[in-house]
A = this chain, B = another copy of it.
Amino acid sequence: MAKYARSPLAPEAFPELPVIKGARFASHAAGVKYQGRTDVMMVALDAGSSIAGVFTKSSTRSAPVLDCQEKIGGATDEGAVILVNAGNSNAFTGKAGVESVQAITTSVSDLMETPISRVFTSSTGVIGEPMKHDRIIAALETLKGKLDENGLEDAAHAIMTTDTYPKGACATFEVDGKTVNIAGIAKGSGMIAPDMATMLVYIFTDAKIDQADLQALVSAFTDSTFNCITVDSDTSTSDTLLMAATGASGATVSHDTKAFRDALHDVMLDLSHQVVRDGEGAQKFVTINVTGARNNAQAKVHAMAVANSPLVKTAIAGEDPNWGRVVMAIGKSGAEADRDLLTIRFGDILVAEKGWVSPDYKEEQGAAVMKEQEITINVDLGLADGSSTVWTCDLTHTYIEINADYRS
């Protein structure tokens, strides 16, 4: 993971995450594939924790994803464990992949005295190689011994693959006079696109919330956060978001509790942006706003067409205000557009309107916007009120380097 320099778009520092009472974390170097770094993390959750999940829609999703999906929504009266490894995704590993999940979850269940229906696993890394689950099982005792309520930051390191920095986000707020905390970690830097647009995300809160309410919020917010980012239009077979609410704060919330909704959405948006900011080879963080579409769904089709266009992304890498490629991407998206009603702005600069370059536009203005590290492209279709915002990064030589040489 130290092969590539920390992304220039990374946050200055990892945030100081609050303790989430009722959750303890451990990480360890199990040597699943990587040497000289941690590569497994364990989360132990107290009895009563609600757990919600959102998963990749890939039709070739991995064995651990299928296992998690079956388990979400069960009874919450017992504890729960999340076990994650980096280096091998246990995806497209056939019957052996299912056996690896069974071996790991059985061992965790026995060791942690937790029902197997409450043991969730994720695996991230290379696809299609046999999983050395013995190495993970051999690390379980050690992981159990290391469990610590302050272990979440270390866990963020343990789940990295091609990430150049660990990703964390948090929020603290009051509900009915009680302090509630949310803390989350994520990993992901390539194979990033809806649905859903990250590889692994784990969020914890000490709020008390019904599982169905938690699931509803997490699912809804995924649509406007992780499903609105794209690095390379490729969707992982392993994408997993798990959220656990321990209830240890004593504050009860529901899907209607505004402070909780706002804080959770902020944490998810922050983590999703951090994934884009670590997009393989990314030098620019790009926001695409589409307004004036026939409806929100069509706006998103346009926005994603711009965000995924290799020609738009390479132009941004070259700091070239090539708005013609934005026009091209809108044109090819398949959603409704009228060339002569299009308005395009780079940041605040009006570039094109009514089917042509704006008479006041000067190329130097667009070029100045393109030199920034954070770029916003605004497209108004002039048709109706549909809108969408998505986030992406530029396409650079380093993306090619990383991905032409990933397995070697």
Contacts and interface: CB of A to CB of B under 8 A. Distances in A.
The interface centre, meaning the residue of A126, A325, A396 with most chain B CB atoms within 10 A of its CB, is: A325
Interface stretch (A40-48, A93-101, A112-120, A249-257): A93-101
B356 A92 contact: yes
Q: Is the interface of A mostly helix, strand, loop or mixed?
A: loop
Q: Give this chain's copy count.
A: 2
A302 to B, nearest CB: 10
A93 B328 contact: no
Given A94-B355, A352-B92, A356-B93, A328 B60 contact: yes
A400 B314 contact: yes
Contacts of A314: 399-400, 403-404
Contacts of A97: 356
B60 A315 contact: no
Given A92-B352, A233-B310, A234-B310, A406 B58 contact: no
A170 to B, nearest CB: 31
A357 B94 CA distance: 8
A163 interface: no
Nearest to A318: B404
A74 to B, nearest CB: 25
The interface centre, meaning the residue of A60, A329, A357 with most chain B CB atoms within 10 A of its CB, is: A60
B403 A332 contact: no
A401 B397 CA distance: 8
Interface residues of A, number: 69
A339 to B, nearest CB: 4
Contacts of A309: 233-234
Contacts of A128: 323-324, 327, 352, 356-357
A106 to B, nearest CB: 21
A362 to B, nearest CB: 14
Contacts of A408: 318, 320
A282 to B, nearest CB: 13
A345 interface: no
Interface in A337-377: 337-340, 342, 352, 354-357
A366 to B, nearest CB: 11
Nearest to A193: B332
B317 A60 contact: no
Contacts of A333: 59
A331 interface: yes
B403 A311 contact: yes
A272 interface: no
A258 B128 CA distance: 46
Contacts of A93: 355-356
Nearest to A328: B237
Interface string A126-144: 1111000000000000000
A7 interface: no
A236 interface: yes
A72 B399 CA distance: 44
Given A60-B342, A339-B59, A404 B324 contact: no
A33 interface: no
A322 B96 contact: no
7 contacts: A92-B339, A95-B356, A128-B327, A193-B332, A233-B308, A233-B309, A237-B327
Interface of A: 56, 58-61, 89, 91-97, 126-129, 190-191, 193, 232-237, 308-311, 314-315, 317-318, 320, 322-325, 327-333, 336-340, 342, 352, 354-357, 395-397, 399-401, 403-408
